[in-house]
Structure 1
Amino acid sequence: MPQFLMIDVGGVRLRCAIEGPTAGDAPLVIMVHGFPESWYSWRHQLGPVAKAGFTACAIDVRGYGGSDKPPRVENYTLEAIAGDLIGLADFLSPDQPVVLIGHDWGAPIVWNTAFTNPGRVRAVAGLSVPFSGAPQRPFTEVFREHFTSQGRFFYQEYFQQPGVAEAEAEADPRRFVETMMYSISGDVPPGDYWNKPAGATFLQDLPQPQPVPWLTSEDLDYYEAEFKASGFRGPLNRYRNHERDYEWLKPMQGKQLEQPCLFIGGTRDPATTLFGAVADPVAMMRMFAPKVEGHVLAGVGHWTQQERPNEVNTLLLDWLERL
């Protein structure tokens, strides 16, 4: 098991799971999870990265698990969470730039932390969600044009009103996590499960989860305990800041992410193609991040590093060792 530390990153404290050489004695790699997850989502990566000679640190993002949970929606902007990562880097690696790795929401978090802090971030890897540059408009406008205005359900619209999604998720956190993970994994039978009318609930019409080898009863026990303790308010508030995120990143329009980048997606992950908007995510990324290496794994769904830990670790370690 990793060592757990509570670290004040300037305004909030983050719970950090750390393995490997003492911070400062080796290059620091910070791992950032997505929704609805925790540091535990990197359980298969911490040890191998540490054994490769890095200080491996997987965090609970603010609002999750053991980290602080500020109450207001605006406490969960990309700018605030990027500030958490820079504060953590300054604490653990004050004299060296760091490597960031993120999955799901963690991918936009690390892409944009590197984008806006090039002097503090040496290289950056994103799983599932490719980097598409500074937004040209708030993402709320995009999904309302393509989904809500057409009478179609979109999960991020459902998440906008505080309290609604919280009530559904907190009624049975284990069922919520298991159903969501199964429904966009590489193991679910093909089906248009998300094609439902606006006004539907999140879990409505999703397939009944079946046992999968990468998500055990013990794994679900851990996620269930974390969300029973933390609730879902902080995690869902991340989705309620698209307008603020747009305003923060607007000055970056037209700029490129210059650091070495690694992208790993899956052929069965809707986020890899930005919900069908991009046919070749790696080619798209090269327009915004010219030093990207990309891999799209056949048959892999959304939970990249949990579904295929060995393949992902091989790609991550090869990339890290070449930096």
Structure 2
Amino acid sequence: MSVNGLTMHIAEQGTGPLVLLLHGFPESWYSWRHQFQPLADAGFHVVAPDQRGYAGTDQPEAIDQYTILHLVGDVIGLIHALGEREAVVVGHDWGAPVAWNTALLRPDIIRGVAGLSVPPTRRAPARPLDLLEKRFGKDFYQIYFQEPGVADAELAADLKDTFRRFLVAASGDAEPAKARVEGGGFLSAMPRPEKLPSWLTEADIDAFAEQYARNGFTGGLNWYRNINRNWELTAAWEGARITPPSLYFTGTRDLVRTFGAPDFIEKLPELAPNLRGVVDLEGCGHWTQQERPDEVNAALVEFLKGL
């Protein structure tokens, strides 16, 4: 499908009101594999794209082609390319900031928004990477991701091993993952698991590895390389609030929870005043909709039908 000059790969199922499912890093449309049938059965047209730079979608070469404005533009372009005038957006990990920002910038088109793992946040008081380095140190993983080619090569060296380590290490089935680079690499702090948890199969590992064989990790890493640029580009929305109806999912063992203030959940209504609820999944790690599909699906269907 042609979207903003990109050839974008999508997976879709069902008919009815449009629901877009936006994946995170390092994932693809496949991370929503458990959501298609339940949402389609509930009466929705479910579409999950490979986002800009990922898997089956084109990967622009220039780093500055991956700003949050490009990513929001892709969502709006996809809605229009599908022949629709409005949609609900649901995002996980990096897909969550894309979903939150799409709802913030285009509330005329987004009739509902749900975020998994990553909550909406206030605009930082200074360049975010500077603040992250000051708080977490130079070995924080988002700092490590900044140098073009470095993390790209490490993660692409053995695709199956990368997904096996990363997906298990950041899940609720492993010891709490570390957000710092050790021994010169991102994966060095992630032991190779002897067996996979119940929610992850060898076929899943194979699927992610096969999809990443086309584009590798550079496109997704370029999203991180625009963090400071995004801060500069979004100055005009300082203090703006997300007005469409919203829903937030989090896992009690998700490392992302340690990045924000301890009371971030209580303060969410200040950022999203039409928040319909928070789904707090006990023992769930970072891969929310993959680890706990039944709970996620039930809450999403209830939210969507209530719009």
Do the two structures share a fold, i.e. TM-score over 0.5? Answer: yes
Q: Percent identity?
A: 42
Matched, 1:309 2:284: no
Q: Are the counterparts in 1 of residues 161 and 192 from structure 2 also a CA contact under 8 Å? A: no
Q: Are the counterparts in 2 of residues 133 and 256 from structure 1 also a CA contact under 8 Å? A: no
Matched, 1:69 2:92: no
Aligned to 1:15: 9
Query: Mind listing any 5+ residue stretches in structure 1 that lack a counterpart?
Result: 1-6
1:205 deviates by 2.6
* Counterpart Cα distance in 1 of 2:242 and 2:235: 14
TM-score with structure 2 setting the length: 0.95
Matched, 1:157 2:143: yes
* Counterpart Cα distance in 2 of 1:236 and 1:255: 27
Q: Are the counterparts in 1 of residues 141 and 181 from structure 2 also a CA contact under 8 Å? A: no
Q: Are the counterparts in 2 of residues 301 and 307 from structure 1 also a CA contact under 8 Å? A: yes
1:167 deviates by 0.9
User: Matched residue of 2:265: which SS?
Assistant: helix
* Counterpart Cα distance in 2 of 1:138 and 1:119: 30
Q: How does 1:1-323 map to 2 (within 5 A)?
A: 7-21=1-15, 26-94=16-84, 96-148=85-137, 153-190=139-176, 193-194=178-179, 200-209=184-193, 210-271=195-256, 273=257, 275-292=258-275, 293-323=277-307
Closer/same/farther in 2, CA of residues 74 and 266 from structure 1, 3 Å limit: same
User: Matched residue of 1:18: which SS?
Assistant: strand
* Counterpart Cα distance in 2 of 1:193 and 1:108: 22
Q: Are the counterparts in 2 of residues 123 and 260 from structure 1 also a CA contact under 8 Å? A: yes
Runs of 4+ off more than 6 Å: none
* Counterpart Cα distance in 2 of 1:69 and 1:178: 24
1:193 deviates by 4.0
1:284 deviates by 2.2
* Counterpart Cα distance in 1 of 2:65 and 2:44: 31
Instruction: Work out the number of aligned pairs and report it.
Output: 305
TM-score with structure 1 setting the length: 0.91
| Stretch moving more, 285-294 or 127-136 | 127-136
Query: Mind listing any 5+ residue stretches in structure 2 that lack a counterpart?
Result: none
For 1:45, the aligned partner's letter is Q
Closer/same/farther in 2, CA of residues 16 and 308 from structure 1, 3 Å limit: same
1:200 deviates by 2.9
For 1:216, the aligned partner's letter is T
Cα root mean square deviation, aligned: 1.5
* Counterpart Cα distance in 2 of 1:279 and 1:314: 27
